[in-house]
Each structure stands twice: as structure tokens, then as C-alpha cells.
Amino acid sequence: MPALAESRTITLSETEWRARQAAHEARVRAWTDPHQARAARSEKHPVYDFLFSYYAFRPAWLRRWHPGPDVILTGDSARQFLRWPEYSETTGGVSARPEALPAGRREFVRWLGNLLTAMSERPAFFGCYGLHEWAMVYRQTPEEVRHTDYSLRFPRDELARIVECSAICCSHFDAFRFFTPPARPLNKLQPTREDAIRVEQRGCLHANMDLYKWAFKLAPFTPAELLADCFELARDIREIDMRASPYDLRALGFEPIAIETAGGRGEYERYQRAFAVRGEPLRQGLIVLCARLLAGSDAS
């Protein structure tokens, strides 16, 4: 993990930080309100619910604004942040304290910084074409398929033929672990959780979605704007992930990306490359945050 540049503390007036707080909540509610309305109606969405079920960060937590380290919040209302043990009063106001990082979390933060750095330095790979979703339904019976409210675009045998004629090369363990048992031997790699630093790469859609997971695992130290940027990227990626899947989601407005064709594979790769570009500054922001937290906690 690279050395952290010297941090500079900034001070926000109550007017300034409240404006940022309100802007963050308005931005995030555009995503959380529809999800909570669906939940109240007991409705499920196969694309967007994933962001609140698999990524177990509650909508209320996503709406909370936090400034990140090295920001002093002024004004009497800043004392509301003292409900979190990571904050304390300091000269001039209230701020998050990297030295409050629990000792038990330091090893995770160090591991995460190393993972993100390795991914940033490793060449991106753009040849997987989203086949992980196909491998998750390979040779399943209709009763075993996850999204039973939506049909598959191909009959079971044709879907299996497409999988068997394709080069499956998934490097992401948390996708690979959902492959059906007969699909796992078809994968070029056999990733494990312990292999992550060695094999994860920034061309992977799921690895870029996981920037959101890493951002919320560093909360409340993660600046809310960075957290929201990671969520927005994950949301956009999820749409493409499911459009490239074998599910027919046209009833929800998602036109398939036909990765079983050369044109569809080219379309998928263009999205994949664009997401890799969008993800890199977010990854760098998390790398810097990891280094800042370690520097602060090691100095305590």
C-alpha cells in the first residue's frame, strides 16, 4: 500500500456541512426510497434489491452523512456526531478520529489496502463476458433457479450448450462460489477467498461493485460522497450484470445484452472497460482512506 500524503485538516461551518449533509441525503433517497416502498408492498426487484440484500448496509445507514477523517465540524449541531464512538470533540468542533479505529479492525484495513493496491497495479482483464450469471444456472432445474418470477432466455439444454462452448474465466470468488456444482470445473480458475489479493482484477464487474462493500465496511470513516459514488457505480454495474445474464428482464425495461453473440460480447466489454475507468478513482480514494486510518491508529 503506498505511503499516504500528509493529511490536511479542513474546517466546515455548520452552514457548509449541513448543506453537504442535505445534498447527500437527497441524492441517496432517490435510490433508497423506491427500495423501501417496494419492501412495504412486499415486492421484489431482481436487479436493485441485490444492492440492499447481498450488500447488507441498511438504507438508513446509506443516508447518513459523514465527513471522513481530517474534517472539523463546527456549530452546536455538530455534537450529534458524538453518538458514534469514532467521533470526539476537538479544538474548534467535532471530528472523526482515525485513532479510534478498533485494534481488531486494523488487520482488516491493512488487508483491504493491500488488496485494492494489488488490483490497481494488476492489468485489467476484459474477456469474461459476464458468464458467471450463466454458470449460476447451468444444469439447474426450473425450481432451483433464483429469480423464479422471470423466465430464462433459452431452454435449459440450449443454455447449457452456450456455457459449454464458452471460455469461462471468473476470477471473483464471491461470484464463483454461486456457480452450480457442474459449472465449477468449467471455470479456468478455481478462486478461493484466500486467493483474492493474487487473482482479483479491476476489469471484473463484481470487483468494481465491491468498492461499495469496502466503502461501507470502513464507515463511518468513509466520506459520504465517496460512499454514494461507490453505490452509484455498483447500481449501474448491477444493471449491466443482469442485462448480460440469461434472464429475460425486458418486462422491467432491461434489454438483454446478448453475450452469446459476438456483438453482445463487444457491447459487454465496452461497458466493462468504462466501469473499470470509473472505478479507479474510487479505488484510489479507498486506498488513501485505508492508509490514513492505519497511520492514525498506529500513532495512538
Question: Mind spelling out the 3-state secondary structure of 161-226?
Answer: HHHHCCCECCCCHHHHCCCCCCCHHHECCCCCHHHHHHHCCCCCHHHHHHHHHHHHHCCCCCCHHH
Number of compact structural domains in the chain: 1
User: Quick one: pLDDT at residue 3?
Assistant: 42
Rounded distance between C-alpha atoms, residue 206 and residue 132, angstroms: 10
Q: Cell numbers for 66, please give them.
A: 459523514
Tally of CB atoms within 10 A around 121 = 9
User: Quick one: pLDDT at residue 1?
Assistant: 46
User: Quick one: pLDDT at residue 146?
Assistant: 72
Name residues of the chain where pLDDT drops below 70. Answer: 1-7, 143, 145, 147, 297-300
User: Quick one: pLDDT at residue 298?
Assistant: 60
| Residue 3 included in any domain | no
Structure confidence by residue, pLDDT tens digits, 208-266:
999 999 999 999 999 999 999 999 999 999 999 999 999 999 999 999 999 999 999 99
User: Quick one: pLDDT at residue 149?
Assistant: 78
| Residue 1 included in any domain | no
Q: Cell numbers for 274, please give them.
A: 468504462
| Residue 225 included in any domain | yes
* Amino acid letter, residue 160: A
| Residue 34 included in any domain | yes
| Residue 155 included in any domain | yes
Full domain range(s) for residue 149: 10-299
Rounded distance between C-alpha atoms, residue 268 and residue 258, angstroms: 9
| Residue 181 included in any domain | yes
Outline where DSSP puts E strands in the chain. Answer: 10-12, 71-73, 87-90, 93-96
